[in-house]
Amino acid sequence: MELKGIYVPLITPFAADGSVALEALEKLAHEVLDAGAAGLVALGTTGEPAALTPQERQAVVDVCAAACAGCGAQLIVGAHGGDTRSTAESLAALGAQVPQAAAALVTVPAFVRPGEAGTVAHFRALAEASPLPLIVYHIPYRTGQQLSAAAMRELAAIDGVVGVKCATGGLDQDAVELLADAPDGFAVLTGEDAFLAPMLALGAAGGILASAHLATARFVELADAWQAGDVTRARALGHRLTGLALAAFTAPNPAVTKGVLHAQGRIPTPDVRLPLLPAGRAEVDAALALANGLDH
C-alpha cells in the first residue's frame, strides 16, 4: 500500500434543516475522485467531526467508503480521542466498520502535551492494537505538541505507522530534515495547503488538502508534475494554486471552502456547525474567483 498524491478531506455538507446532506456528500466524493484524487479522507478536520453525532460520523464514513470502493481509491479515516485508551477504542470500531480503509489519520494527542516520548509511546501502543495502519496527524498549532525530525523518525520506525501528515503552519526545519532522508515506506504528506508545492519539491508524497475540493484536477496535476520531474510546469502551476490555497484559509477551515462549494451549486448550504461561523461574503468571493479561474 503506497500513499501518494492528493487526498481530499471531505467537508460535511449540511441541508437547510441542519441534517447531514448525505446525497451531496456522495456527489462531492465522486466529483473529486473523478478529477483524479488518490483518495478521500473522511472525518478530517475539514469534516467537522467533533460537531457530528456518532451516527452522523458512521454515515459519513460509509458514504466515503462506498465512493472509494467504486473506483479503487484509497480511504483514510480520521480517528480521534483525548487519550490512548479511547483512541484505541475508536480505531477498533473503525477497523470493524471499514476494514478495507488504507489508513486511519490519528492526531497527536491534543491539549495534553505529552512530550515527544509520550507521543511516540502513544503511537506505539495504538499501532500494536490497531486493525488499520496509522498516519500521524502532526498539527502543533491545534494540538500544542511539537515533534522534531528525530521524533518523526522514531514514529516512522514503528510497525504499522505508515506516514505523517505535516501541518505545521509553514515549511519548517523538521520537515526539511525529515524529507532530506525520508524513511523507506513512510509517506510524508502535507496538510498545509499553501506549502504543497515546496513540500512536493522536497520529495513529499502528496497532501491532504481542504482547498483541493476547489480545483482537484489542478492539484493532482501539480503533484504529478513534481513526481515526473517537470519543474517548469510544476513551478508555474504551484504559483497559481498558492493563491487559492491561501484564500481558502482566510476564515477558520472549512468555512471558506463550504462557501465556495455552495456558490458553485455543489452543496445545499454553506453552513458550518458552532463553534465555527460561516465565512464572510468577501472571503468567499475572493476564493470563488480564484477557483473559477482554475476550473475544477
Ligand X SMILES: O=C(O)C1=N[C@H](C(=O)O)C[C@H](O)C1
Question: Residues 75-94: x/- map of binding to ligand X (CB under 6 A)?
Answer: --------------------
Long-range pairs of 181-188 with CB within 8 A, sequence gap ≥ 24:
183/153, 183/156, 183/157, 186/156, 186/161, 186/162, 187/2, 187/3, 187/4, 187/135, 187/162, 187/163, 188/163, 188/164
Gyration radius (Cα) of the chain, Å = 18
Q: Site for ligand X (CB under 6 A): which residue of 67, 106, 135, 208?
A: 208
191 binds ligand X (CB under 6 A): yes
Residue nearest to ligand X as judged by C-beta position: 44
210 binds ligand X (CB under 6 A): yes
9 binds ligand X (CB under 6 A): yes
E strand residue ranges, 44-151:
74-79, 103-107, 134-138
- Which 20-79 residues touch ligand X, going by CB under 6 A? 41, 44-46
In the complex with ligand X, the residue whose CB is nearer, 117 or 170, is: 170
Residue 46 among known ligand-binding residues: yes
Active site includes 258?
no
Q: Is 119 helix (H, G, I), strand (E, B) or coil?
A: helix
Residue among 204, 291, 215, 216 nearest 247 (CA): 291
Compute the C-alpha angle 150/139/15, nearest 5°. Answer: 155
* Cα-based distances in Å from 247 to 5, 8, 48, 280, 283: 22, 17, 19, 12, 7
Residues 47/75, Cβ–Cβ less than 8 Å: no
In the complex with ligand X, the residue whose CB is nearer, 42 or 161, is: 42
Kindly state the smallest distance separating residue 5's Cβ from ligand X, in Å: 15
Tell me the β-bridge partners of 206: 5, 189
Active site includes 165?
yes
Residue 119 among known ligand-binding residues: no
253 binds ligand X (CB under 6 A): yes
Candidates 4, 27, 141, 165; catalytic one = 165
Question: Residues 98-137: x/- map of binding to ligand X (CB under 6 A)?
Answer: ----------------------------------------
**Which region, judged by CB under 6 A, interacts with ligand X, from 17-25, 202-210, 223-231, 271-279?**
202-210
Pick out the residues of the known binding site. 46, 208
Which residues make up the interface to ligand X (CB under 6 A)?
9, 41, 44-46, 139, 167, 191, 193, 208-210, 253
Catalytic residue numbers, as ranges: 137, 165
Residues in the annotated binding site for pyruvate: 46, 208
